[in-house]
């Protein structure tokens, strides 16, 4: 699964290579757009649009023109959501701050499908995705049929969004909807909008990608600010320091469950284990961790060299960047790719150096791997466990709330 970190702050695009999820409603305010360091996806802002106006105020042509500007000036755009029509009852009927559209679920679906097709017709060069909308399970299947009748092959799409599930993602109904869609369209690759722990625990394994701003919501709701942030803002709902620490905790948890070796031996019930090592044991632990870190860094470096060379970077360019001789870079490129990829090698490295025999070195190894192999953890790691890459239960370590491992989700 690929996870997009949601944020209200478009300028974060120039701060990080982490995949971000940003709304058009925020970007269109910028006269000078940031240049992205990494990849990102665009939210059309449909939920707020329909909440405030009960219709789309922006024409498809205006929206497509803005998306083209974002693609050209920001760079790194993977895909853009269409101007879809959410099907929650409150969106249609109104109330609780919604003006209401007064239309039917079927009409919302029809307009969603028509908009996706229209955007692709007027801007075939832009990466617009299709989105499935509905209320009941049969609605989503009917929406998939609408695309089929219009000539769209959802199974061949790189990404298909599934909407109107975020407010019920902790229920069995949401899991049933996603399961039914995958059965009706074998091979479909779904993106879940606004997915939190409750949803991922039920159906995260069936998603190809997801996004979340759970970190922001949690900081705002609990009025939480990191130490040192109290004088800058009243809470960390828009704080990059808080957001990226949250993401780091996500990756560390993922690294732990992707590569940690579970030892077959454990102390007996009567054995007293002390986390405080004597000075000699501490010295051994530091040396072991240092050796593991150096070998892990070399392994990651060599993997990256081969990857960048395949992507078209010359041997001379790589040599200059990594401070190696061209001859040595050539040797690395010529070496066969390790079986099983980087994560399997790191798992074997943990076992070879025995870093999981002590809780302190094991935790440190988790953090080393999270930093070295973030992309592999997100895109290829943990297989079924990777479904829990984003969790509203993961809190900053200085928060008073309980910390929940991403893989403790039921």
Give the pLDDT confidence of 298-338 residue by residue, as tens digits.
888 898 898 889 888 899 999 988 889 999 999 999 998 87
Q: Domains (ranges, CATH) in the chain?
A: 2-212 (3.20.20.105), 278-408 (no CATH)
pLDDT in tens, 1-20: 677 889 999 999 998 888 99
Burial of 192 (0-12, 13-18, 19+ CB in 10 A): buried
pLDDT tops 80 at residue 169: no
Mention every residue, 6+ apart, whose C-beta is less than 8 A from residue 89. 135
d(CA 292, CA 348): 11
Burial of 393 (0-12, 13-18, 19+ CB in 10 A): buried
Cα 22 versus chain centre, distance: 12
Least confident of 48-52, 75-79, 218-222, 405-409: 405-409
Distances (CA, A) of 78 to 128, 158, 199: 9, 10, 24
Output the six-digit token pair for 167. 């407010």
- Residue 160: its H or E element: strand 160-162
Inter-residue contact 188 to 160 (CB < 8 Å): yes
pLDDT tops 80 at residue 387: no
CA angle 223, 228, 229 (to 5 degrees): 40
**Top-confidence residue, 298 or 270:** 298
Q: Is the pTM of this model over 0.85?
A: no
Inter-residue contact 122 to 67 (CB < 8 Å): no
């Amino acid at each position: 699964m690929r996870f997009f970190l949601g944020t209200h702050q478009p300028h974060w695009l120039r701060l990080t290579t982490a995949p971000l999820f940003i709304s058009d409603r925020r970007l269109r305010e910028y006269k000078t757009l940031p240049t992205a360091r990494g990849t990102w996806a665009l939210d059309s802002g449909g939920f707020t649009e329909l909440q405030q106006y009960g219709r789309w105020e922006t024409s498809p042509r205006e929206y497509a023109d803005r998306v083209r500007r974002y693609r050209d000036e920001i760079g790194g755009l993977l895909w853009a959501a269409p101007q879809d029509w959410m099907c929650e009852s409150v969106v249609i009927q109104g109330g609780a701050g919604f003006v209401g559209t007064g239309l039917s679920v079927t009409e919302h679906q029809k307009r969603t499908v028509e908009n996706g097709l229209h955007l692709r017709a007027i801007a075939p060069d832009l990466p617009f995705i299709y989105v499935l909308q509905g209320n009941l399970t049969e609605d989503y299947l009917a929406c998939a049929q609408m695309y089929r009748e219009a000539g769209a092959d959802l199974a061949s799409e790189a990404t298909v969004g599934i909407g109107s599930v975020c407010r019920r993602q902790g229920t069995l109904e949401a899991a049933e909807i996603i399961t039914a869609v995958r059965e009706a369209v074998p091979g479909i690759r779904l993106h879940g909008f606004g997915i939190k722990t409750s949803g991922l625990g039920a159906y995260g394994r069936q998603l190809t990608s997801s996004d979340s701003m759970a970190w922001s919501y949690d900081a705002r709701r609990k009025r939480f600010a990191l130490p040192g942030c109290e004088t800058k803002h009243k809470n960390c709902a828009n704080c990059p320091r808080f957001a990226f620490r949250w993401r780091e905790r996500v990756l560390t948890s993922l690294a732990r469950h992707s590569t940690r070796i579970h030892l077959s031996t454990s102390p007996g019930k009567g054995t007293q284990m002390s986390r405080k090592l004597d000075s000699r044991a501490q010295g051994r632990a530091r040396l072991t961790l240092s050796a593991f870190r150096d070998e892990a860094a070399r392994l990651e470096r060599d993997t990256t060299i081969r990857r960048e060379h395949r992507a078209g970077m010359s041997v001379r360019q790589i040599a200059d960047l990594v401070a190696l001789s061209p001859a040595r870079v050539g040797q690395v490129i010529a070496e066969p790719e390790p079986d099983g990829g980087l994560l399997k090698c790191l798992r074997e490295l943990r076992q070879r150096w025995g870093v999981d025999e002590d809780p302190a070195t094991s935790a440190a190894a988790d953090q080393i791997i999270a930093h070295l192999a973030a992309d592999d953890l997100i895109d290829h790691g943990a297989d079924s466990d990777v479904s829990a890459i984003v969790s509203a239960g993961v809190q900053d370590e200085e928060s008073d709330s309980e910390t929940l491992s991403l893989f403790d989700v039921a």
